[in-house]
A = this chain, B = another copy of it.
């Protein structure tokens, strides 16, 4: 019996017709010249937990984790024949590439997160979400044990067990301390949204603490010494953000201590950003030197106490102690305990991550998939299968392989063993046949015939080019989307397999194996300077890359809401600077 007011009507229109709201935001965004990408999904309906009566017939897919891999999987899954259950201690997806920006308030934490329930609201797939941590995977009985991550008063009801038909493990990794003493107690990590928020508070804390009366200048200097351990993209970006925050905003509010601030970046290797092109590394090191950020390469941290960090110089083995006020530890990733436990169960010990095959299936577990930072693809070596490949290719069982016979399986080989193509590229060969030719010397292509030994020697080098994929958001997102496409077409591909030949079996693999496509990587260096390494070794450094960075990140954000928020955060920072309230 209520009359809807104008406000309510417009508001409903906006909420119900997302296209309308998008139009408005599109206008906003394109006004800033930033939009590069658009999405056309809509989520009109919601299903309730018990509504589906054919639950029993549906295969249950349990997804662990709502990071890049898990969310990307859920977003791309559109096969209604699954009952999907998601277990994660975080009820949101976080756009982690912007975490370093959150540490200093260039972007707000809430602007980079989107509720997972919002993301998975879909027309046709039934997806349930449980906010809980997976504490044990029981592969034998196809069960996962979960526990609510809340500090609840549920009297044991916070634990529950979920059965699965397929399990998708996308739990990510944790920070790796390399068992360095004192790190967990005294350093900040930068993996979760909460970490970034804590760092922000902690930076302000240091400034307030250093401003207190009755301190010696030495003590103030110690408190304002910020140490970043690890010269990878995260550590470098955080150092740059911190430098900008201090020099653009905090110096105005803390004039008495501004000259005491020091930022040190410790890197155990020879250079920072060593996964990037050398030009980028050199530019970054030079820029940091100009900015007064002290980059110490070849310094390995051996101990952290509450006031000092001890480092060991790689050259001479000298141990130095550096007084510090706040430290951020960002040296790479380690394995989560529950994953370690699971790896023990399935006999994968002494590994950094869960080994999967090229279809992201955990080795030794038929119905378990693993993707993202908690997994590595164990790329099959050509040499392991060399005899099988030979006999499969040698159709007439002559004991020798002609070029024609070989050409018939070339595509399958290249798909199954991507290192072959990489090897050719490296040797600057255009055709795989050149490899055979290479081993045979100067004969006409058509007359080449190889026996098994010749074949082995021709391909003996190809496996040397194998590289693990980096633990990045880009890889995880592509793996999630790939796996969802496999699940979407599971039945179809059972019947008409589309993958490469099974060299060690009969028939074909159901799916094409996962193939990573690298779209480039950014390294923001502060002061509106960004280095970008794009596909094809294209390197771009400077302000244009910064704008490219703005556009790409704005376009890649998960929802229109986060996109609008991040852009308004950038605008706010531009106009008003960053906020330094300690909340």
Contacts and interface: CB of A to CB of B under 8 A. Distances in A.
Interface of A: 5, 7-8, 11, 14-15, 21, 24-25, 46-50, 90-92, 108-110, 113-115, 117-118, 121, 129-132, 148, 150, 152-154, 157-158, 160, 162, 193-194, 197, 204-205, 208-209, 211-215, 219, 248, 252-256, 306-307, 527-528, 543, 560-561, 564-565, 568, 572, 574-577, 579-583
A575 B91 contact: no
Contacts of A581: 91-92, 110, 113-115
B582 A90 contact: yes
Contacts of A5: 528, 543
Contact of A205 (B50, B150, B212, B219): B150
Given A117-B580, A148-B208, A564-B572, 13 more contacts: A5-B543, A8-B528, A14-B575, A15-B248, A46-B253, A50-B256, A108-B110, A109-B583, A110-B581, A131-B211, A160-B213, A162-B213, A568-B568
Contacts of A248: 15
Given A212-B131, A212-B132, A561-B572, A579 B110 contact: yes
B528 A7 contact: yes
A546 to B, nearest CB: 8
B209 A583 contact: no
Contacts of A130: 211-213
Contact of A576 (B49, B543, B561): B561
A194 B21 contact: no
Given A148-B209, A157-B215, A211-B131, A579 B255 contact: no
Nearest to A580: B115
A21 to B, nearest CB: 5
Nearest to A12: B248
Nearest to A568: B568
A574 B131 CA distance: 27
30 contacts: A5-B543, A7-B543, A11-B574, A21-B576, A25-B575, A90-B582, A91-B208, A91-B582, A110-B583, A115-B253, A121-B252, A129-B211, A130-B211, A130-B213, A131-B208, A131-B209, A131-B211, A131-B212, A132-B212, A148-B208, A150-B209, A153-B306, A157-B214, A158-B209, A158-B212, A160-B213, A197-B583, A560-B576, A561-B572, A568-B568
Contacts of A108: 108, 110
Among all A-B residue pairs, the 9 with the closest Cβ atoms: A92-B581, A131-B208, A561-B576, A117-B253, A49-B256, A113-B581, A160-B214, A46-B255, A115-B580
A198 B572 CA distance: 25
